[in-house]
A and B are shown apart, each in its own frame.
Chain A
């Protein structure tokens, strides 16, 4: 017994036919065992039969358009079929399946209602409250004027609306691809990402404040940020598709990588080594005795090295200029 699947242009199964007796004929003729409604298919186009080894073989019966191996393959007179072999007859794509072939286990069904926001677990609720709290706190501590409650809430609401719009977009995609809206989950992903990003930013500021100049803390914060973005994207993707775990991480990393590279390229016109290094210097309310310090003498010893740095910069800038002139 063999299952023949007639596929549509996007590869979805349109019709599934069980052939039990062989040889069986395929064609437009109504007496065929598998009737194909395709003007490019001959009345008696091909024959399906067992070969000497017990395998299945499809043979062209001298048709006008023949049997084609799909994806650009040429015309063949005879094809040995395995489970999953795809061929084209005229404009019809057929896939042959051995009914004994094992199938993938069932996907776990989300039993929640299809459109509603969904029931929140205590963990979700805690995450939502934490993100709103962190946003409010961040808004409050970075305000430079006399802040009113309305200003603070307004600013935070603005960010939440943006997050909701983002979540709504993903939820719509999920509704189309997976028939599941899952707004709550798509909302919590960026909320959690925001909490991690703001926390790592603050931590980076404190590290930079306490131990300036020795480690590139900013690079660390950027790496954490990129990782968080990849993770968030992977989490969104796993909710709108049935991609394997590896594929969804690769896709996320690729998307973030491309976006990151575009931002990096637009930031810097190729003269990064000649750009000014006057970066932000955060100040933090830390008690004097907790701040690691050096003596003025050791600081100025380090300053001494700047002369050589600036002088070699001048030399490199001069050689760059002479290159540009040529």
Chain B
């Protein structure tokens, strides 16, 4: 999520850098404007600028801003939409942070969080109504190639407008994202992307660099608004608990179908192993044929691209499986197994601070199934702030053959323990000898 200032430090670094580059980009922008000179952009900016605000999280003891982003009004009653990751500090530590908005007239106004959607990275905020104009939401997606305008506060440099094109929804993702061809930058997170008529199509959320950027589709905004406007809707007492609940529900929605009997498999060496457990996984292969090494490696890897930003120091939701086939024609069993051991040992979770996860605990066993003897390691750690959620990995090595080895790993994050255990069991069961 490059669009999110993922830490004060990196953000300040970005600001300093931007100072150095400002001149260059200023010149570039002036040139482009003169060249492209779209009258639409100027008109859109004039008409909509006052509906977009800057949203910032303030660390209360120092009074300094920890994160900044953008937001926009969606009702005459002071409702605003921004990204969850813009206000995640406040969700994680409500005792240490507060949020405020700064409107186009530089008025600082306090805001409070009304509802969040951590999976899609949205938050609904509310401020005292101040007669602010608001955005209409687009009822239907535009045509591919439609011209869009994105508004926000890139690098805290002031409200800017970026022109780009709509390129449809991303395919094969766990949760929907619009592919927007245009340059989003840190600080524009939470700002609106609109059609020429001013209707919001999506919410700026992240970028893959260059011109490849992503938006949260506006229907997720509508869903959040519907939820919050239900009669009797109560803002959750603990937003962190709401995050926990949403993540628990979310994982149930996609884990159920993974690694069932009908799952896709591939043959690696003499083994049959699972691959591409669902359409939202992306798979790659790779092999070393280095003449300098006395053994060969073939790798196969599938993972979900989608991860969920929970807080500055924690993200979750990535599922990954990797297979590594090792084989040798020239090494004896002792030397081959020394290398095989090295490939198998020392696997660890992605490094997260011990403020957000517990330390790791493992079980090791030699498991026999379908004629294979498998060294099996299951490790897990818990989310300290989000009870009921765990990271887990199952790492398996096939034993008993002197010149071939298979290391296969399933990594799960942000799942319940029961789901981790069940998926690991299914995954293990899906490893078999390939039919000759």
Contact = CB atoms under 8 A, between A and B. Distances in A.
Contacts of B336: 285
A240 to B, nearest CB: 39
Nearest to B341: A283
Given A299-B363, A313-B358, A278 B346 contact: yes
A285 B333 contact: yes
B361 A310 contact: yes
A309 B369 CA distance: 27
Contact of A212 (B335, B347, B365): B365
Nearest to B390: A310
B280 interface: no
A283 B359 CA distance: 25
Contacts of B341: 280-284
Contacts of A212: 364-366, 375
A106 interface: no
> What range describes how many residues of B lie at the interface?
35 or more
A310 B425 CA distance: 19
Contacts of B335: 140-141, 143
B334 A141 contact: yes
B428 interface: yes
B66 interface: no
A295 B337 contact: no
B81 to A, nearest CB: 34
A105 interface: no
B253 interface: no
Interface in A185-238: 209-210, 212-213
Interface string A264-290: 000000000011111111111111110
Contacts of A209: 375
Interface in B412-429: 417, 421, 424-425, 428-429
A318 B367 contact: no
A309 B367 contact: no
Contacts of A279: 362
A314 B358 CA distance: 6
A299 B373 CA distance: 13
B360 interface: yes
Given A283-B397, A293-B367, A317 B358 contact: yes
A302 B364 CA distance: 9
Interface in A302-326: 302-307, 309-311, 313-314, 317-318, 321
Interface stretch (B142-150, B257-265, B271-279, B377-385): B377-385
23 contacts: A142-B338, A144-B338, A146-B292, A146-B294, A212-B366, A274-B359, A278-B379, A283-B344, A291-B366, A293-B373, A294-B368, A295-B367, A300-B424, A302-B365, A303-B421, A306-B361, A310-B361, A310-B380, A313-B358, A313-B359, A317-B359, A317-B384, A318-B384
Counting from the closest, the 8 A-B pairs by CB-CB distance are A288-B400, A285-B333, A293-B368, A212-B364, A307-B417, A276-B360, A299-B365, A310-B382
Interface of B: 292-294, 333-342, 344-348, 354-355, 358-369, 373, 375-382, 384, 387, 390, 397, 399-400, 402, 405, 417, 421, 424-425, 428-429
